[in-house]
Copies of this chain bind each other. A is one copy, B any other.
Amino acid sequence: MQAWASARRLEGARIGLVPTMGYLHDGHLSLIEQARRHADAVVVSLFVNPVQFGPNEDFEKYPRDEARDLARCEQAGASAVFLPPVATMYAPDASVFITEERLSAGLCGARRPGHFRGVCTVVAKLFNLTLPHVAVFGQKDYQQAAVIRRMVRDLNFPVEIVVAPIVREPDGLAMSSRNVYLSEVERRRALGLSRALQAAAACVAEGGAAAAAVRARMAEVIDAHALQLDYAEIVDAESLEPVAEARRGNVALIAAQCGRTRLIDNRIL
């Protein structure tokens, strides 16, 4: 992978990276499209990274479909697909890890200890292996994108980060590889997340609103959809610090359990 990327660089090509865990949906394809706009050669990585999953999470059952992913990458105009085996990515005695200590403290970071350590580590590895000029991440994982931007800043990676908007199903559900886990009933309930975010946006449409009231409104919508709320927060778009007064430009983030499936979504107000 490094040899291929180095050769492209020496030819003067601009390399774009789209890091994914595979099982590609239209959200991923929009990232590849964005990458093609910013680069000459697009690398899509397909790697379900064990280090970012907790011991009781869904690493083993995470959906995989390599053949379909390869076809979709080709169709979408990727120049290369990188599918490293786990044993190639992590030596049995791997001992070097990257941690982000501020932005990853709350939200999903508080619920998934070690998650962003795994994300930072694998993304740094993918940067070093694919040598991109630009890498595209989805806004769907808002906290992840913020943490990666911080890593790029603090470790001086020579990589530009582009964050692409969330792609939604016609009824509003944010696309996610994990949506495949949902039963028909759960699929309907799952709309609670995007509707809660709509309600949050409505709260600030006329100006500021107390964040506590906005959070309560989001929790109400989640309840009404028979989901179990994990968190509903209004934070500063950069620092991810909770705000007292919700305003336009803040970000509403939500996580909820839908049966056995944990779903996340967010919206810039």
A interface residues with partner B (beta carbon < 8 Å): 2, 6, 9-10, 12, 90-91, 93-103, 120-121, 124-125, 128-129, 131, 150-151, 153-158
Contact = CB atoms under 8 A, between A and B. Distances in A.
Contacts of A151: 96
Contacts of A94: 154
A9 B8 CA distance: 12
12 contacts: A2-B158, A10-B12, A90-B154, A94-B154, A95-B100, A95-B101, A95-B102, A96-B150, A97-B98, A98-B155, A125-B156, A128-B158
B100 A154 contact: no
Main SS at interface, chain A: mixed
A58 to B, nearest CB: 25
Nearest to A239: B93
A96 B91 contact: no
Given A91-B153, A125-B154, A129-B156, 10 more contacts: A9-B10, A10-B10, A95-B100, A95-B101, A96-B153, A96-B155, A97-B98, A99-B99, A125-B155, A125-B156
A52 to B, nearest CB: 15
B6 A96 contact: no
Contacts of A9: 9-10
A95 B103 contact: yes
A164 to B, nearest CB: 23
Nearest to A126: B156
A9 B125 CA distance: 21
Contacts of A98: 96-98, 155
A81 B95 CA distance: 31
A242 to B, nearest CB: 17
A151 to B, nearest CB: 5
A240 to B, nearest CB: 11
